[in-house]
Structure 1
Amino acid sequence: MIERFRDWTLLSIIGSVALCPAAQAQDRRIVAEPVAPRTVCDRPVASGKNDTANLQDAIDHCPVGEAVYLTRGDFLSGPLEMKSGVTLWIGRGATLIAIAEPTAYDKGLGHCGRIAGKGDGCRPFISFSKTRGGGIYGAGTIDGQGGAPMAGSDQSWWQLARRAQAEGGNQNAPRLIQIDHAQNVTLYGVTLRNAPNFHVAMNQVQGATFWGLTIDAPADARNTDGIDPGGSRDVTIAHSVIRTGDDNVAMKAGNNGSTRHISITDNYFGWGHGLSIGSEVNSGVSDILVRGLTLDGTTSGLRIKSDVSRGGLVERVTYEDVCLRNNAWPIIFDTKYDSRARGDRIPLYRQIVLRHVRGNTGMLLMRGLDRSHALEITLDDVRFADSATWYIENANVTVGPSGVSPPLPHGRAEAPLPSGRERCAKAFPTR
């Protein structure tokens, strides 16, 4: 099935080259298909045991501009720290496997693999911290083993997350890849699967390219987001297949700064919670281009979510040539994500444009906080099945020359809506 998804992606690439000039992208860089390094500095051999020390040594001693090449076999490893300008090249037939051993990831407080008041007790599997250039390339696989029993336990990372949801508290599980205060990092071609927590998380990154990735986790694997740009700028996510147990992509802007100039082009999202902005947007999200996206069976489709505890300005977001199928909430632009939230961080969404968007049934929600902070939305050639239902509240909607179907309601919808958290709980009950 994944190969069929890749075939679809290649067809979309051909169409995008013909119809979508690169100059229209919101990422301010000139982004083209990445090219792997020409020089290999080391070719580690899988030992069948823990290869962490051997792999880290190869990375540490690799010259800038060269690659550590994993040619074939299963490489078992604990946390790895990438070096500026160095590429980890995972060849076809090679799998880099994250050991399911909480002590290997623990930050020193003994929280990793446990439920606690905070959820940041684990180091990531692969870390890009303050690096420049480099990345991860190849046709191989990185496997986070999120469903494997943790060492010394009969529970997996994912079972720990479900237990935290049921009992309260936060699971401490490692992210698969963390990119932090880095510049111009590239992930190309690799398969990322079964992350214990987020697959790729970003914090204050300037320039990142994700091209031709496959990200795959079960639909019920909690908090396994695909790619989360947070406080980051000039990011391109292109020609990728993403299926996860949480947001396929989530753009966030909490206290770590604004997120701006993001291009998400020619991608296929299978199961997951959709393409999201938020819920933390208090530092601002802007200049986002989404083009050539299929959301097939995601719970939500195009989603902007926040509330008064973490709201802010979201503006200049364009969705073009989007196909939505079998989504409970194909469009959900909501400023009341958590009805229990309290605060004075007002969510405001404006200059949001949907053009050439197609879908079937489901709820189409656009809900501003109040009339003083109404949403500003433009819809042009947006068409769903007659059974789709609009819910519009505190929103100024402009209809373009190519129209909208089904027609927009003349008055406010009467049926009460559950909060975002209530909708999520209904779609993914505690297990």
Structure 2
Amino acid sequence: MLGFSCRVFVLSVLLASTSGLAQDRRHVSEPGLPVSVCVTLTSSAQSKDDTQRLQDSINHCQPGAAVRLIAGAAGTGFVSGPLIMKSGVTLWLDRDAVLAATTNPLAYDNDGRCGTLDHKGNGCRPLILFNGTRGGGIVGEGIIDGQGGQPMIGHNETWWQLARRAQTEGSKQNIPRLIQIDHAHDITFYKVTLRNAPNFHMAMNAVQGATFWGVRIDTPAGARNTDGIDPGASQDVTIAHSFIRTGDDNVAIKAGSAGATRYISLIDNHFYWGHGLSIGSETVGGVSDVLVQGLTLDGTTSGLRIKSDASRGGLVSNVSFEHVCLRNNRRPIDFDTHYDAKAQGSKIPVFRDIVLRDVTGASGDLVMRGYDDTHQLSIMLDGVRFAPDAHWKIEFTEIQTGPGGVRPALLGKSQSAEVYAGCVGSWVTFPGS
């Protein structure tokens, strides 16, 4: 164990559930498809660049209506550079419709750096931008393909190869995100598939109200920095009934200097390869009121993860993980206040009021690591069951238990009456696999 410094409190009764508060404050139900369409566009083999007609259609569409994309002849699709969404306008991709991101770095360029490495990064615009919008979103059973694995026009490598080279050379890559949502309100994503993003699939900053329902995110495990959905400095966000496999965090809830992230719900989702469900690593703005309920993590490197360090830490509190199934994870539980062991600074991360209830996993390392004796990690375990060969690694952590107990046993704690059974019947194959 990691210098075991664990304070144990066995409770005879379960503490009051925090999940009544730790969630999206809106009443969220399954969205529907638009009832009003302002224009319908059909893909064509003759069109090599659809950016202008797509942007013109968005610009002329009235709030409350949709730009509808439908598939033409087999093998055709829409090819586009950056698009800017308009308040109240929805992009509707019919089944079999494909919107492919151009692989030309010049199309995304901000200042001559897109498609290059340097020490700045952020040299590219995203494929789709929501900036200061209210309402609207992207819906339908079609596909947005970032083409991250295709060679860049004018280059001899792909976006993903550029990202990997940045890692080996200690540089920063200038690569476009697939979708960026900034300072927006009440955005909806429904049933759409996002795949092969060059960088993050969905990045959010200062968003008030967002719903992701039935979304599929599908990108290879080796594609660097291809996070699935990243809420940052945002409030009232629900991610539900979605399927995510990607090359980095499946979901990463962040709070940097732009402000707090809180009132987040993740309900009945399925994660596959990726780095797991993460909070952090930026937590300086504070993350709170998070409810995770009904989640499977099948093959993620980490499972339930909270990560930060002294260079970017803050308070993470009131987080509930309920009815979670894990398997094939290196670190099914990975709560670490020393994410970067070399980090220095005074922004000490504090994780408290964390609840794990009915969490079942297989083998692997179960890490709970507070910062120091003054900044303990505070957690409650209730019905937490792992395989007998799972290993607890605990440091500077105060643990409480509910009546469901915990397995494998911890020092001074009663075991769960239930043994590890592997969550039989909970596993779902990625749709279309």
User: Would you call these one fold, judging by a TM-score over 0.5?
Assistant: yes
Matches within 5 A, 1:10-89: 26-47=23-44, 48-73=47-72, 74-89=77-92
| Counterpart position of 1:420 | none
Q: CA deviation at 1:311?
A: 0.4
Give the whole-Å Cα distance in 2 for the aligned partners of 1:89 and 1:118: 35
Q: Helix, strand or coil: the match of 1:371?
A: coil
Q: CA deviation at 1:46?
A: 2.1
| Counterpart position of 1:313 | 315
Identity of aligned residues (%): 65
| Counterpart position of 1:93 | 96
Q: Deviations over 1:255-301 (max 9, x none)?
A: 11100000001000000000000000001000000000000000000
Give 5+ residue unaligned stretches, structure 1. Answer: 1-21, 412-431
Q: CA deviation at 1:45?
A: 2.5
**RMSD value over aligned CA atoms?**
1.2
| Counterpart position of 1:5 | none
Give the whole-Å Cα distance in 2 for the aligned partners of 1:339 and 1:51: 47
Residue identity matched to 2:303: G
Deviates more, 1:24-33 or 1:350-359: 24-33
Matched, 1:340 2:339: no
- Structure number having the greater helix percentage: 1
Matches within 5 A, 1:3-402: 26-47=23-44, 48-73=47-72, 74-107=77-110, 109-402=111-404
Give the whole-Å Cα distance in 2 for the aligned partners of 1:297 and 1:28: 31
Contact 2:22 2:319 in 1 (8 A): no
4+ runs deviating over 3 angstroms: 22-25
Contact 1:390 1:409 in 2 (8 A): no
Q: Deviations over 1:298-348 (max 9, x none)?
A: 000000000000000000000000000010000011000001000000100
Q: CA deviation at 1:23?
A: 6.9
Contact 1:311 1:346 in 2 (8 A): yes
Give the whole-Å Cα distance in 2 for the aligned partners of 1:259 and 1:25: 12
Q: CA deviation at 1:236?
A: 0.1
Q: CA deviation at 1:120?
A: 0.3
Alpha carbons of structure 1 residues 23 and 284: separation in structure 2 relative to 1, 3 Å = closer
Q: CA deviation at 1:58?
A: 0.3
Higher relative contact order at CA 8 Å, sep ≥6: structure 1 or structure 2? 2
Residue identity matched to 1:66: A
Q: CA deviation at 1:49?
A: 1.2
Aligned residues: 389
Q: CA deviation at 1:409?
A: 4.0
Give the whole-Å Cα distance in 2 for the aligned partners of 1:69 and 1:24: 38
Give the whole-Å Cα distance in 1 for the aligned partners of 2:96 and 2:340: 45
Give 5+ residue unaligned stretches, structure 2. Answer: 1-18, 414-433
TM-score (ref. length: structure 1): 0.89
